[in-house]
Structure 1
Amino acid sequence: MNIAGTNGNYANVNGLRMYYEVHGAGRPLLLLPGAVSGTRTAFGKLIPLLAAHRQVIAVEFQGYGHTADIPERPLSYEQFADDVIELLHVLKIGQTDIFGYSTGAGVALLVAIRTPALVGKLILASVSYQSSGRHPQLAELEKLLTAETMKGTPYEAEYLSTAPNPSNWPEHLAKVTAFNQREDDIRNIKAPALIIAGDADIVQPGHVVELYKLLGGGSLGELSMPASQLAILPGTMHTALTNKTTLLMAMIPDFLGFNISTQ
């Protein structure tokens, strides 16, 4: 169902009425947001830049943005991956590139593990594949995910303006804090990956390098250039990463194989 006057749509997947937006045309590029984020807070500045060259499909997970929560169903990477895979089937997309940010990057990894034929290339921004890779101070930051401490933030504003049941904001935050990623062996992923993190991110730099190596990176380029790439953005914390459009658009087009005009 198309939402009049917007690029927004809903699809029925796994008992969920899942919201997604379509922008631009061309080879699909699926955008998966981070925890607490909808399409605007996660990718608002990037969508028009990417959609000038690709068909961008931006998704909102269960309980995120326009997608209503299912109270009895907990949030999990596994469930989100199931929903994304089913959405791609509903949209009849045989293969897509995926840009996942934070939680969305963890989901992208699971989609690539479970259904490798669906995934062309991966952009993984600020992702940990093990809990040990997260910054040790993150637990203190997660304690701030309450309705009181999130008051006045862009995340609260987006939720209150888009969610089917805005009064569920406190319950949604409680489910997010209980949301843990499983540890998967990702060595068998064949899709080339561009791994991006900030130098002041919630993911520790050493962990990002290890993920890069697991995905085939780390060889001597003069002898064998790896298909996967690694980028650490300078002066960048987690919540600012996808707003660094100049840095991101200096590397993403080359990785995905489209050219930007030099106007």
Structure 2
Amino acid sequence: MTDHAQRLNASTHAPDGTVLAYQRHGFGRPLVLLPGQANNHHWWDGVRADFHATHATLTMDYRGTGASGKPTGNYSTQLFADDVIAVLDALEIEQADVYGTSMGGRVAQWLAARHPHRVRRLVLGCTSPGGPHAQERDGSVRRALAQADPAASRQALLDLMYSPAWLAEHPGPYTTLGDPGMPPHARRGHLVASNEHDAWDALPRITAPTLVLHGEQDRLTPAANAPLLADRIPRARMHLFPTARHAYFQECRAEAGSLVSSFLAAPPDRPFPPDAHG
């Protein structure tokens, strides 16, 4: 088993010609891991290895991030979903498990609703249906993130992502705070894409068994969005992490990783692990 066989860093093109960089690690059933807004594949660095016992993890750099192209023009969560399909097509992957967090969960909603035959199982983490039905973050969060001082804005984001106790034990570096190499137009495009997401009418069309995960202390994407998704998606189940904020997948790594792995491994006649509850 060579390192080249275990890891593949390559690229393909979207229908509009944009270069899309992707990374495949490990062997087994493909698991697509989709990161948050204005982040590249490094969002998953801290936890992707947890799935390699059963899955080959597939990440990508959204357009505007990492090694992917950074075109001008309109960005949207539906466009990002089309980009994921382009990567799956390039790898000749007919069907995959999909785990999207934050804006990646918004992208995953469109993947599962518009391409149901391509998604075997779906995990939506710390995300929202968007639109008028969603529970928006409050004004104090928006003001904290919009501070002119970059250091203060970064600290505000850290506090929204992680609890003080976890930060005290994990001094960094952190890979979930945004791609520093993004040009301003791409960063604005990601913000618009996330803010304009509205998949409410499409959610009932999702046929894949779905697990919704969220940190109860999340103020960046309020936890009230989790039951909205779980109630709107047929047969979906929900699990909340009582002490976690937005980055529950890192802060509650052992519990979250085990829960997701059990869900993905469950046989067809038992689509949900026993500890997932709604």
The residue type equivalent to 1:181 in the other structure is H
* Alignment partner of 1:97 is 2:80: no
CA–CA distance in structure 1, aligned partners of residues 144 and 261 of structure 2: 33
Structure 2 counterpart of 1:174: 188
CA–CA distance in structure 2, aligned partners of residues 89 and 112 of structure 1: 16
Deviation >3 Å, runs of 4+: 144-160, 168-172, 239-243
Q: 1:144 to 1:29 in 2, by over 3 A?
A: farther
Using the TM superposition, give the Cα deviation of residue 255 of structure 1 relative to its aligned residue in structure 2, in angstroms.
0.2
Please, what TM-score do these two structures have when normalized by structure 2?
0.76
Contact kept? 1:145, 1:177, Cα under 8 Å: no
CA–CA distance in structure 1, aligned partners of residues 18 and 91 of structure 2: 15
Please, what TM-score do these two structures have when normalized by structure 1?
0.80
Structure 2 counterpart of 1:221: none
* Alignment partner of 1:62 is 2:82: no
CA–CA distance in structure 1, aligned partners of residues 35 and 186 of structure 2: 15
Contact kept? 2:47, 2:250, Cα under 8 Å: yes
CA–CA distance in structure 2, aligned partners of residues 6 and 174 of structure 1: 32
Structure 2 counterpart of 1:85: 85
The residue type equivalent to 1:139 in the other structure is R
Q: Could you give the per-residue CA deviations for residues 160-206 of structure 1, whole angstroms, max 9, x where no partner exists?
A: 4xxxxx3x544433333333213432112111111001111133333
Using the TM superposition, give the Cα deviation of residue 130 of structure 1 relative to its aligned residue in structure 2, in angstroms.
2.4
Contact kept? 1:200, 1:237, Cα under 8 Å: yes
Using the TM superposition, give the Cα deviation of residue 158 of structure 1 relative to its aligned residue in structure 2, in angstroms.
7.0
Contact kept? 1:43, 1:242, Cα under 8 Å: no
CA–CA distance in structure 2, aligned partners of residues 236 and 21 of structure 1: 28
* Alignment partner of 1:195 is 2:212: yes
* Alignment partner of 1:106 is 2:103: no
CA–CA distance in structure 1, aligned partners of residues 126 and 266 of structure 2: 23
CA–CA distance in structure 2, aligned partners of residues 146 and 241 of structure 1: 28
Structure 2 counterpart of 1:21: 23
Structure 2 counterpart of 1:220: none
Greater shift, 228-237 or 89-98, is seen at 228-237
* Equivalent of residue 204 in structure 1, options 222, 226, 230: 222
In structure 2, the residue corresponding to 1:235 is in which secondary structure?
A: coil
Percent sequence identity over aligned pairs: 22
CA–CA distance in structure 2, aligned partners of residues 115 and 17 of structure 1: 22
Gapped regions of structure 2 (runs ≥ 5) = 156-171, 268-278
CA–CA distance in structure 1, aligned partners of residues 78 and 37 of structure 2: 15
Q: 1:153 to 1:246 in 2, by over 3 A?
A: closer
Contact kept? 1:142, 1:177, Cα under 8 Å: no
Gapped regions of structure 1 (runs ≥ 5) = 161-165, 218-227
Structure 2 counterpart of 1:115: 115
In structure 2, the residue corresponding to 1:45 is in which secondary structure?
A: coil
